[in-house]
Amino acid sequence: MSQQNPGFSGPNQQSGQRFTGQQPGQPMPNGPYQQYQGPAFQPPRKPKKSIWKRWWMICFYVIVGAIVASHLGGGGDDNASSGAAGGSESASAAAGGGAAKAADKANAQAPSKKAEPTKEEPKKAGIGTAVKSGDLTFTVTGFRCGVTVSDPMEQLTPQGQFCKLSVTIANGGKGQATVDDSQIKISDAKGSEYSTSTDTWAVDGSIFLKKINPGNKMSGVAYFDVPKGTTPTTSTFKSSLFSGTAEVALS
């Protein structure tokens, strides 16, 4: 049995031939020149760094810490602002209550004003009292409703009832004045106004286009046809279109 070189046995892994005992670097018999190659060299592996020492982990933790700190700080600001708002509302409420108390106290101490007496309307002139309209003076001397009226031809029939108003008119101007019973009206408490009847122009004493010279006066009668049950309360007289109205109370 032949001896083999230690560390080598069996067929050569590189050439597939048996080891012949030649030294490395010498040509093999019946074959090409081949150089012995030992085991492949492998450099030692570097130890892995801990996960805590890697730069991207450090950046991650810095970012997370900044976010947590910002949230904590924001919560504190909110609490502080809500506390300040609550304090300002309390102060406003207290100030409002104090102002209301001060106003109540001032009102209590202020002297109460006496109610001013209501001004009474001037009383109207009554029957027998002269009132003026322009240059003419108007005086009611009598008033009655439910009277019978006749002209020279017949007795007149009213739609409702006749009311008779006796008056005196004096001319205080410098020229002649013409008066007619159409210038005289009566009214009731409801404000309804009544004119003289057109059927009574021929009745004795009716005022129909009468002439009055300056300084003179005349007496006459005006008849009114008003609904039954009506109670006239006021008589008015107007001497001309642009003059004031004379007013007389009938009751």
- What band does 222 get if pLDDT is binned at 50, 70 and 90? very high
Say which range, 32-36, 46-50, 233-237, has the weakest mean pLDDT.
32-36
* CA contacts within 13 A on the Cβ side of 55: 0
Rounded average pLDDT over 41-48: 60
- What band does 186 get if pLDDT is binned at 50, 70 and 90? very high
Of 121, 124, 119, 122, nearest in space to 233 by CA: 124
Residue ranges of domains in the chain: 130-249
User: What pLDDT shows up at residue 15?
Assistant: 45
3-state helix, strand, coil in the chain (%, to 5): 25, 25, 45
By the 10 Å C-beta count (0-12 exposed, 13-18 middle, 19+ buried), 44 is classed as exposed
Average pLDDT along the chain: 76
User: What pLDDT shows up at residue 16?
Assistant: 47
Residue-wise DSSP of 74-137: HHHHHHHHHHHHHHHHHHHHHHHHHHHHHHHHHHHHSPPPPPPPPPPPPPPB-TT-EEEETTEE
- What band does 62 get if pLDDT is binned at 50, 70 and 90? confident
**What is the rounded distance in angstroms from the CA atom of residue 3 to the CA atom of residue 19?**
11
Of 233, 126, 217, nearest in space to 179 by CA: 217
Does position 80 have pLDDT exceeding 50, yes or no? no
**CATH T-level assignment (fold) for domain 130-249:** Immunoglobulin-like (2.60.40)
